[in-house]
Chain A
Amino acid sequence: MRRHHDMGGLEAGPVEISEHDYSPWEKRVDAIVRLLSDKKRRLLTVDELRRGIEDLGSGAYDKLGYYERWISSATNILIEKGVITVDELGRAIEDAKARRREASR
């Protein structure tokens, strides 16, 4: 079997030589992952993050952006390890959305 992320040598189109400046939320995700995986915390390794991304499945892999995959993977692993619970996360997401709605009034 060949897994979805293992794409070396597959046919593909021209390289889109474009780039964008990283947005604040993307850097925040990157920073969260770096902090979680540092020597002080060791709550996540880059290997776990990669495995988590691969296990999102090909659909998610195609539909999600780069840092969307990162935050999905990291969050799943934090839940697996019991660092955060699904219930806490659900509430915190609703809080974040509510704060956002308030801020844009």
Chain B
Amino acid sequence: MSGTHRHGRASQHPGAPPHRHPPQPDLEDGPYTDYMAMADAVAALLIKKKVFTGGDLRRMIELIDSKSPAAGAKLVARAWLDKDFKKRLLADVNAAAAEFDIDAGHIPIRCVENTPKIHNVIVCTLCSCYPRLLIGLPPDWYKSRNYRSRTIREPRAVLREFGTEIADGVEVRVHDSTADLRYMVLPMRPKGSERLNEKALAKLVTRDSMIGVARLEDR
């Protein structure tokens, strides 16, 4: 698994790649664990039994690869510019995404809006529920014991570790996605972005701001 050293302020700067370890070594180079063998064995058996084809598997991996935070960023940028769209986004993210021809799947995704009075942050204390079909696979830290244990109990301390400080007068509201819904945050539009067009606005929106561990910096 990933290393144990800490990074600060991950994914704070739009456009900068998040702090990452180098990609995992190619399969041929690393150790072939029992679990990797199990995965290959199960895939081979299921293909042999025609549960799915090799092509199905390949296409599903391509689908996984095709999902990224950019899809969520598009919805956020549109919501900043269009009040009616924002209403629709807050009612039903899947339907709002479909307006952009984005297929966010059938698991309902809901959006919670940050305001000057409320800062939302999302966690799944019981496992790692995350709006994967909209914004891609979650970062390791979101799935970690420490995030899952502490965010619900001391959100401000956790946010501080991400370099995010929320003023005392603002309510920090933590959503624990325990059931069938997945959540994303609609971050506040940064000050100084008034002249930017929709495409440029979308580029400002980071994944971490849609989880709620970061705000978008004023310009």
Q: Which residues of A does B touch, CB under 8 Å?
A: 5-25, 27-32, 34-36, 41, 43, 50, 53, 64-68, 71-72, 74-75, 78, 83-84, 88-89, 92-93, 95-97, 99-100, 103-104
Contacts and interface: CB of A to CB of B under 8 A. Distances in A.
B191 interface: no
Interface stretch (B24-32, B78-86, B195-203): B24-32
Given A8-B125, A18-B3, A23-B23, A96 B141 contact: no
A84 B139 CA distance: 32
A75 B42 contact: yes
Contact of A17 (B8, B36, B39): B8
A6 B149 CA distance: 9
A32 B43 contact: yes
Contacts of B16: none
B39 A14 contact: no
A95 B43 CA distance: 12
Contact of B24 (A11, A23, A88): A23
B23 A20 contact: yes
Nearest to A92: B41
A10 B153 CA distance: 8
A18 B7 CA distance: 6
A43 B51 CA distance: 9
B45 A84 contact: yes
Contacts of A34: 60, 63-64
B39 A35 contact: no
Nearest to A103: B28
A8 B141 contact: no
A104 B150 contact: no
Contacts of A93: 34, 37-38, 41
